[in-house]
Structure 1
């Protein structure tokens, strides 16, 4: 098996080498898309073709060009990009759906002798791709309905009684994870840990992973979040939401709940002004970045490189990134 310490080391899958997979993760507005393109361009300068693969749960939707900050043709810098805008908004893209497509895409990139550069901040997508999927049976609808109707305090107390091990690992206010753990144990009769032990389908052991997590200084990141949302408005986010609303899709679909859509939909409905929507959208973006930041700092393996920086000096960050991947 390959034990290469450089991303541009030649590999031979037929000889048993584990092919390379670069991963650039980071919260929204951290500059990871630019870094992915810069990395791919550097690899191509060294004679290695590279392809950027999306791992962002909003950028998968064709309907969210502006509000997902999907890279423009110019921003792609001549590098092929895949799984961007690959799903119609009428079809929800689950972590399992994305991981299945990503596995196929990465295998195809490797078959061409190229290097896939995975980029995104959706932790569940990344974890599902690398670690696999736990075979949790479908949750009984009545159980899901009952659990989701509980106030988080009651749900947490119930989880402490029914799955104390999982409850001890969760914050008492973590509504989503508490509900998930409780509905699993109630519907299947077994705790979530049981199913997670049966996880399969991950590619983590089949590739040589080169991971890097971008962690910019928080206040600088939040300022970029505000600027990011303001620029989305300038680039036509309102028209994008109007087009999306005209499709009359189920409000529960992920595309309808993406950051910016509910906020701007409120303007269309006359519920609040555009200025109010910008305030709401900027706050939602900052909140999301904060959640991503916390997850990426603590949840991935400790050996994954965390690249912390104070200012958004593109060249400085890229230099650190290239060194991390053995390219300098």
Structure 2
């Protein structure tokens, strides 16, 4: 059985996974964690992704962290293959895999029966040229005319995903196939845990988290990644916080502007995450607000998972 822990950024998913792993270990069940945060796939992107350093992982094995260079493009199809292979290996060892993260499409690609159509290099090149010449707004309008649901979900600013959606439509003649099915078909038996927090509390927490990223050296981290090619990375250069830190280094943003924009984008991203994960049927939601003792939450989640594993 697969355990899944999801929720918006800043709700403590990583910490909960470690606490639960230790509780299950007390009951004789080994646990290994599978990362489901797209930006934590990248080597060197640590401060801005809140990636747990090795010494903070409490000796619990983690998978799919630091597997890409900043110049590599992260794709859901590749992630699905790698994550499912890692899960299968964990199960073969008799351990419990816990999929942890907030990248909705990445999580969905693993836990549901997603099938990704192939690519067409010539078509992709033409669409990318259109993106450069006309901008994402024009591609969004084109997608809206043929697949309004995909256009609404992707938004008008994510050029890379707009290109992929249009490519899929042209290849298959059908709406964008890499979307959450209306009636999801599980890939394997699972127990899904969702974390949430009161909106005002989460907003304050996220704003403080962004300020801490700058205080903890995000700009220095990004500067160290420039010689490795982060400016040319299709995915990495657009990551929230990293794009703004690059702007600060390049002189197009002041530090206060970079922080403020990152806070705005982080809050918006968290709202999208809430909407995405609320669609997961059968998910048990746990509050992470200040009024809920952490031990009580860990007890509840651990008992739920242990019961599902023992059923």
Do these two structures clear the TM 0.5 threshold for a shared fold by scoring above it?
A: yes
Q: For structure 1, which segment, 40-49 or 66-75, has the greater mean C-alpha deviation from structure 2 after superposition?
A: 66-75
2:168 is aligned to 184
Alignment match, 2:85? 104
Q: Does 1:24 align with 2:5?
A: yes
User: Residues of 1 paired with 2:8 and 2:270: CA distance?
Assistant: 5
8 Å contact kept, 1:147–1:182: no
1:306 to 273, 281, 285: 285
Aligned pairs for 1:286-301 (under 5 A) are 286-298=267-279, 300=280
Contact 2:33 2:61 in 1 (8 A): yes
Q: What residue is the counterpart of 2:196 in the other structure?
A: 215
Greater helix share, 1 or 2?
Answer: 2
In structure 2, how many angstroms separate the alpha carbons of the residues matched to 1:89 and 1:252? Answer: 6
Q: Indicate whether 1:134 and 2:113 are aligned.
A: no
CA gap 1:64/1:172 in 2 versus in 1, 3 angstroms = closer
Whole-Å Cα distance in 1 between the matches of residues 149 and 106 of structure 2?
A: 24
2:296 to 304, 316, 323: 316
SS of the counterpart of 1:325?
helix
CA distance in 2, matches of 1:123, 1:324: 23
SS at structure 2 position matched to 1:135: coil
Tell me if structure 2 keeps the 8 A contact 1:147–1:155. no
Query: Is 1:114 the counterpart of 2:95 in the alignment?
Result: yes
> What is aligned with 2:305?
325
Give a deviation string over 1:124-152, Cα, whole Å, max 9, x none: 11111122322244361324544783674
Residues 158 and 297 (structure 1), Cα distance of their counterparts in 2 relative to 1, 3 Å cut: closer
Measured against aligned partners, the alpha-carbon deviations of 1:22-48 in whole angstroms (never above 9, x if no partner) come to 100111111000111111111111011
Instruction: State how far apart, in whole Å, the 2-side matches of 1:62 and 1:168 are.
Output: 34
Whether the 8 Å contact between 2:139 and 2:162 is mirrored in structure 1 is no
CA apart distance, 1:268: 1.5
Q: Over residues 50-71 of structure 1, what are the superposed CA-to-partner deviations in whole Å (9 max), with x where a residue is unaligned? A: 0111000011111201111101
2:220 equivalent among 239, 261, 267: 239
Q: Could you say which residue in structure 1 is the equivalent of 2:208?
A: 227
Distance between the aligned counterparts of 1:274 and 1:150, measured in 2?
A: 27
1:285 matches 2:239: no
Contiguous gaps of at least 5 residues in structure 1: 1-19
Aligned CA-pair RMSD: 3.0
- Name the SS of the counterpart of 2:152 in structure 1: coil
Separation in 2, partners of 1:172, 1:102: 24
Tell me if structure 1 keeps the 8 A contact 2:223–2:249. Answer: yes
Q: Which runs of 5+ in 2 are unaligned?
A: none
Q: Which has the larger radius of gyration?
A: 1
2:119 and 2:210 map into 1 onto residues whose CA distance is: 39
Show the counterpart of 1:17.
Answer: none
1:78 to 2:48 alignment: no
Do 1:155 and 1:182's aligned partners in 2 also have CA atoms closer than 8 Å? no
* SS, match of residue 116 in structure 1: strand
